Structure 1
Amino acid sequence: MAVISAFERRKLEKLLGMGSGYVLDFSDRTYADFFIDYRIDIDAAQYRSGGDSKAKRMRAFWDIAPNHTVGKVLDGLITYGVQIDRLGDSSPQLTDDCRKIAMRLLSDQSVADLDALTAIADDRDFEVVAEHVREAIEKNQPEGGLDRLHTFVNKFIRVTCEPHGISISREKPLHSVFGEYVKALRERGHLESAMTDRILKSSISVLEAFNDVRNNKSLAHDNPILNYDESLLIFNHVASSIRFIKSLEAGIKANSLAQKNDLPPWDETIPF
């Protein structure tokens, strides 16, 4: 449920012109199309519990969806309403207040580095699984996305390791591939601190344990799935690690190009 006060709801309803059951200039078809862009079926029964009008379905959406998802939709609605000049009240102050509400909700994301979970190769399967992983978090259902997160990590690590000359086969387990990757980083001087080396080494055993979660506590099979809080912890750990590896690899690539072109090396501090 999105955390929106009664006072904030009145502001949003006024801006979106919801007083008579409508929302902006949407027809039922265009309303559904708008929400589909956010991977939400606003025609679903769960959003019709209070009635079928567009305004009632919007209120039900606020009552059901998590903060971050509601913030994204509100930001899109406000932008659209300004573009078509069809806001219920186009007062600059009200528009600004409602944007601030949307931004506050947007800032509440359960996985801080969710945007790092994107495909790094031109591979349709990779892109689809990455989209499904992000969708699980945007719907606040991390426990339902663990199997796809495992598939994503497999694809990501194997694509990342290939340029380092690490042999990859279906028989070699993911944690073994990642162990060779960490060793290559260390031996080639890509890690500046012993602590970073140790953190990455610990991820080898984490990835090995992830196999058990995928096989026995996810929707990959007919299993009782892992609880919400532990699933969210796994998502956050994986997303943070992926973000770091992406940043590290960007620095390695930039330094390699600089050496080829006889340019100063990349010296940007790598965030962790």
Structure 2
Amino acid sequence: MAEISFIEKGNIENLLGMKSGYVLDFSDRTFRDFVGEMTGLDIDNEIYHFASNSKANRLRQFLKIETNDNAGKLLKGFCDYWLSKAQNGDFDYRNDEKHYLECLKISERLRGNIVENIDAIKANWEDKDFVILAKEIRGSIEKNQPEVALDRLHTFVMKYTRQLCDKHSIGYSKDEALHSIFGKYLKFIISTGKLESEMSQRILKTSISNLDSFNDIRNNKSFAHDNCILNYEESVLIFNNVSNMIKFLETFEDKLSKSSDSKKTDWDDLKF
């Protein structure tokens, strides 16, 4: 069953005009064709029959019994269709923009792809605070609320970067800014000679300036202080940038550890 809250259902109903029994401007035939194209499922199947069996009621039943992924794909399709019609003047964009944006967020959450590599946001060391921090951040993403967790994401990246520096005996001061500490760690990465392309170095170097900007987001656009928080779309962008970077660093550190273990094994195998 698709996990859609009462309030979310209200936004979907309002955007699609379902109170009348219809779904946007679809006829029975085009409604069936559209659902089939978006999900590969037949909306006329008797498993979706409900009450008067209107298009709206069949859609309600679909959202009730189908998986999050199928519901999310169909809702994303409706959002794209609505936007194209609104841009042509067929629907009132200004009147329903709020419902459209909310439905878009719902579809992203249901499809489970709000943030790429969200699994990288985890406690990489045995640290109670780290565990709690990672859990709270992931909880906000699961609730489709990335904007409310920006301050905790910044704290996570700070803790993560410091522990990487500790692991490799890289010195830093207690009050040093995140981007500065990361810059020191990046120098270590480059010094290992394990990066195979100049482009990888360039991408990682841009992370220094990105994290410098993240300091400003944390201080002025998050709940770290009494701020007006950043909008949803840019919050998702920041989360994706950070999670992808951490995922790469995880992979790099793993390869580095295996390389180090291999050298130790070779040395241990020597016979004197």
TM-score (normalised: structure 2): 0.60
The AA in structure 1 aligned to 2:223 is L
Corresponding residue of 2:234? 230
Corresponding residue of 1:179? 183
1:190-269 paired onto structure 2 within 5 Å? 190-262=194-266
In structure 1, how many angstroms separate the alpha carbons of the residues matched to 2:216 and 2:193?
33
Corresponding residue of 2:158? 154
* Equivalent pair of 1:67/1:109 in contact (CA under 8 Å): no
Cα offset, 1:176, TM superposition: 1.1
Provide structure 1 residue ranges, at least 5 long, that are not aligned to the other structure. Answer: 16-62, 70-104, 264-272
Q: Which moved more, 1:191-200 or 1:107-116?
A: 107-116
1:10 is aligned, of 61, 84, 92, to: 61
Corresponding residue of 2:142? 138
**Cα 1:177–1:9, aligned 2, differ >3 Å: closer, same or farther?**
same
The AA in structure 1 aligned to 2:168 is H
The number of residue pairs the alignment matches comes to 181
**Cα 1:187–1:222, aligned 2, differ >3 Å: closer, same or farther?**
same
In structure 2, how many angstroms separate the alpha carbons of the residues matched to 1:119 and 1:248?
17
The AA in structure 2 aligned to 1:196 is S
Q: What's the secondary structure of 2:266's corresponding residue?
A: coil
* Equivalent pair of 1:166/1:177 in contact (CA under 8 Å): no
Cα offset, 1:8, TM superposition: 7.1
Q: Deviations over 1:152-178 (max 9, x none)?
A: 100111111212221133122211111
In structure 2, how many angstroms separate the alpha carbons of the residues matched to 1:138 and 1:248?
27
Query: Is the aligned partner of 1:122 residue 2:122?
Result: no
User: Which protein has the bigger helix share?
Assistant: 2
Q: Deviations over 1:168-203 (max 9, x none)?
A: 331222111111111111112121110010111110
Q: What's the secondary structure of 1:244's corresponding residue?
A: helix
Q: What's the secondary structure of 1:184's corresponding residue?
A: helix
Q: Deviations over 1:219-272 (max 9, x none)?
A: 010001111111110000000000000010000001100110019xxxxxxxxx
Runs of 4+, deviation exceeding 6 Å: 2-5
In structure 2, how many angstroms separate the alpha carbons of the residues matched to 1:68 and 1:172?
36
The AA in structure 1 aligned to 2:61 is R
Q: Deviations over 1:102-144 (max 9, x none)?
A: xxx4x43210111110011111100111111111111111111
In structure 2, how many angstroms separate the alpha carbons of the residues matched to 1:178 and 1:14?
47
Q: What's the secondary structure of 1:231's corresponding residue?
A: helix
TM-score (normalised: structure 1): 0.60
Provide structure 2 residue ranges, at least 5 long, that are not aligned to the other structure. Answer: 1-7, 13-34, 36-42, 44-56, 67-102, 268-272
Larger Rg: 2
In structure 2, how many angstroms separate the alpha carbons of the residues matched to 1:145 and 1:118?
14
Q: Which moved more, 1:154-163 or 1:143-152?
A: 154-163
1:34-183 paired onto structure 2 within 5 Å? 66-67=106-107, 105=110, 107-183=111-187
Cα offset, 1:12, TM superposition: 7.6
- Percent identity between the two aligned chains: 46
